[in-house]
């Protein structure tokens, strides 16, 4: 009996120790199982994401085309070979001297098919001055294209090929984009056909970059490189939300900042070009500037956002509606106005003849009024004060406001007028740039637009001019010849 009793105790003890030793393994097994379930869930998520991106890419890529252009350019030979053609020497010594030589060159870009019958949306700078345009589809078919219309003010162009049943892209609503949304950029970087890159929307409403007159860019970190211009920026649904236009780069390649024209702006420009052969824009008839704390204080305005009216064109829609100098426009047709760029873009995209509601602040009181938008006159000087009919015709300038100084990083001791636009047919085109500050004209000091106009009034139509210009943190003398 005693022996059986001892045997039973031994068996119980053994089982107790066995289960005690086994318990860590049980915990480890449970941990392993939990971890395995977590890995499986993560793998499933990544697989679904990968499949979704692949599906969107395969659906959208056929709508993107490669564009090849051919043009004739003029260069000047020098006795020093290519040394003085180097961009470094061009920056400091200007255009090289010597006899002119013409040669043909090619360039690559991208485009997006927006209709089944062959309309393609791209950038103006992709097809500018092109003598021949070749479009290559995803399936390698090639077509000669013709330009339907261009709009340098937004850097957009519409071209067409003669074909039907093309894979047109679906155009999305770019106003619904949010910072952080996943986007894909599709184009022809460095000639690499139909390349897809992924990123997010880094910012919306970017302006004052100096790329176009009307700016409302989408900023993205999706890799955009030379050759991507005119390509598609699409959302997770495969809808076109932007036309890839430019990059911010110090090396000439991708640095994580790219810009695209919103699809809503591109669509409005495209439809106007196709229907009318040109871009018809709305016109309010005011000159405006951003509100600053100093100006707001002097005018007794508490608001820190809006577009301040500095002048009203006589007989314009704004004049008829009763707008006055000193009014602060804070809302346009139900949409808040944060700055002059937003107001300018909203007015431009409004159909002429449409009645819109404005909310303004005048003498500290909020007033609501209606105005019938007119059509922007073709020859209206939109970008500042135009020069006289001489060598600086087509150059537009405006006074240096605190806002402009801040945006262009211009020191307080620099005096002059800021170049806001240079027409393509101006003798100064390619010499003066947007953002330049003209500080002297023929050794005459310039402090404001009045000084600028007075200096130009004494210059004949065929006389050359010497300018002292502040650019990128330094001064440079520039000569403009007939």
pTM of the model: 0.65
Structure tokens at 17: 């120790």
Confirm whether 472 is a catalytic residue.
no
Residue 455 phi, psi dihedral angles, 5° rounding: -65, -35
Confirm whether 194 is a catalytic residue.
no
Structure tokens at 153: 């003010």
Query: According to the model, what pLDDT value does residue 208 have?
Result: 67
Which listed residue (155, 216, 327, 451) is catalytic?
155
Query: According to the model, what pLDDT value does residue 219 have?
Result: 92
Query: According to the model, what pLDDT value does residue 101 have?
Result: 62
Query: According to the model, what pLDDT value does residue 384 have?
Result: 46
Which listed residue (110, 174, 202, 229) is catalytic?
229
Domains annotated for the chain, with CATH where assigned, are: 33-279 (2.40.10.120), 282-375 (2.30.42.10), 385-480 (2.30.42.10)
Structure tokens at 68: 């090849």
Query: According to the model, what pLDDT value does residue 168 have?
Result: 92
Cα dihedral angle (160, 161, 167, 169), rounded to 10 degrees? Answer: -10
Contacts of 107 (CB under 8 A, 6+ apart): 68, 69, 71, 126, 130
**Residue (of 238, 204, 203, 200) closest to 221 by Cα position:** 200
What's the mean pLDDT when you consider all of the chain? 80
Query: According to the model, what pLDDT value does residue 355 have?
Result: 94
Helix H or strand E encompassing 324: none
Which listed residue (125, 194, 207, 221) is catalytic?
125
Dump pLDDT digits (tens) for 120-147.
999 998 998 888 999 999 999 999 999 9
Q: How far apart are CA 59 and CA 382, in angstroms?
A: 41
Dump pLDDT digits (tens) for 18-33.
554 445 555 555 555 5
Q: How far apart are CA 117 and CA 101, in angstroms?
A: 40
pLDDT tens digit at each of 482 positions of the chain: 555 555 555 565 555 545 544 455 555 555 555 565 666 777 777 777 777 788 888 888 999 999 998 887 655 444 444 444 444 444 444 445 455 566 677 778 899 999 999 999 999 989 988 889 999 999 999 999 999 999 988 889 999 999 999 999 999 999 899 999 999 999 888 878 888 998 899 998 887 666 777 888 999 988 888 888 888 999 989 899 999 988 776 666 667 888 999 999 999 999 999 988 888 899 998 878 788 777 777 777 787 888 888 778 888 999 999 998 888 999 999 999 988 888 988 999 899 999 999 999 988 889 999 999 999 886 553 444 444 556 787 788 888 877 778 778 888 889 999 998 887 778 888 889 888 999 998 888 998 887 888 787 667 666 788 888 898 888 887 888 87
> Is 120:132 a contact under the CB 8 Å cutoff?
no
Contacts of 81 (CB under 8 A, 6+ apart): none
End-to-end CA distance of the chain: 127
What distance lies between CA 34 and its chain's CA centroid?
48
**Residue (of 333, 311, 335, 331) closest to 323 by Cα position:** 311
């Amino acid at each position: 009996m005693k022996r059986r009793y001892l045997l039973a105790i031994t068996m119980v003890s053994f089982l107790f120790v066995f289960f005690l030793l086994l318990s860590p393994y049980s915990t480890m097994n449970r941990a392993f199982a939990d971890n395995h379930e977590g890995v499986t869930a993560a793998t499933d998520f990544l697989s679904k994401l990968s499949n979704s991106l692949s599906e969107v890419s395969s659906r959208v890529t056929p709508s993107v085309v490669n564009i090849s252009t051919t043009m004739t350019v003029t260069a000047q030979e020098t006795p020093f070979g290519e040394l003085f053609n180097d961009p470094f020497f061009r920056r400091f010594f200007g255009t090289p001297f010597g006899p002119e030589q013409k040669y043909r060159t090619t360039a690559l870009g991208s485009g997006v098919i927006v209709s089944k019958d062959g309309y393609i949306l791209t950038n103006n700078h992709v097809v500018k001055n092109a003598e021949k345009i070749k479009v290559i589809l995803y399936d390698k078919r090639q077509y000669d294209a013709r330009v339907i219309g261009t709009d340098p003010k937004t850097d957009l162009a519409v071209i067409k090929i003669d074909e039907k049943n093309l894979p047109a892209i679906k155009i999305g609503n770019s106003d619904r984009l949010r910072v952080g949304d996943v986007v894909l950029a599709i184009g022809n970087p460095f000639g690499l056909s139909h390349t897809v890159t992924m990123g997010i929307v880094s910012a919306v409403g970017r302006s004052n970059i100096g790329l176009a007159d009307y700016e409302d860019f989408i900023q993205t970190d999706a890799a955009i490189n030379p050759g991507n211009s005119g390509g598609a920026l699409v959302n997770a649904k495969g809808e076109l939300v932007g036309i890839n236009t430019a990059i911010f780069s110090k090396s000439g390649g991708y640095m994580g900042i790219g810009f695209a024209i919103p699809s809503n702006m591109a669509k409005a420009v495209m439809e106007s070009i196709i229907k009318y052969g040109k871009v018809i824009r709305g016109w309010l008839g005011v000159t405006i500037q951003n509100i600053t704390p100093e100006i707001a204080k002097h005018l007794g305005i508490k608001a820190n956002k809006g577009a301040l009216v500095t002048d009203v064109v006589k007989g314009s829609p704004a004049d008829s509606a009763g707008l006055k100098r000193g009014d602060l426009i804070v809302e346009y047709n139900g949409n808040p106005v944060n700055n002059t760029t937003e107001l300018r873009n909203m007015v431009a995209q409004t159909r002429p003849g449409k009645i819109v509601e404005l909310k303004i602040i005048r003498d500290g009181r909020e007033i609501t009024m209606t105005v019938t938008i007119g059509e922007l006159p073709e020859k209206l000087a939109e970008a500042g004060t135009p020069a006289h009919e001489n060598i600086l015709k087509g150059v537009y300038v405006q006074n240096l406001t605190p806002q402009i100084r801040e945006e262009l990083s211009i020191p307080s001791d620099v005096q002059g007028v800021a170049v806001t636009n240079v027409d393509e047919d101006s003798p100064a085109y390619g010499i003066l740039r947007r953002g330049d500050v003209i500080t002297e004209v023929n050794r005459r000091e310039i402090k404001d637009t009045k000084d600028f106009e007075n200096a130009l009034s004494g210059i004949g139509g065929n006389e050359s001019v010497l300018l002292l210009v502040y650019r990128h943190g330094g001064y440079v003398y520039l000569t403009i010849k007939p």
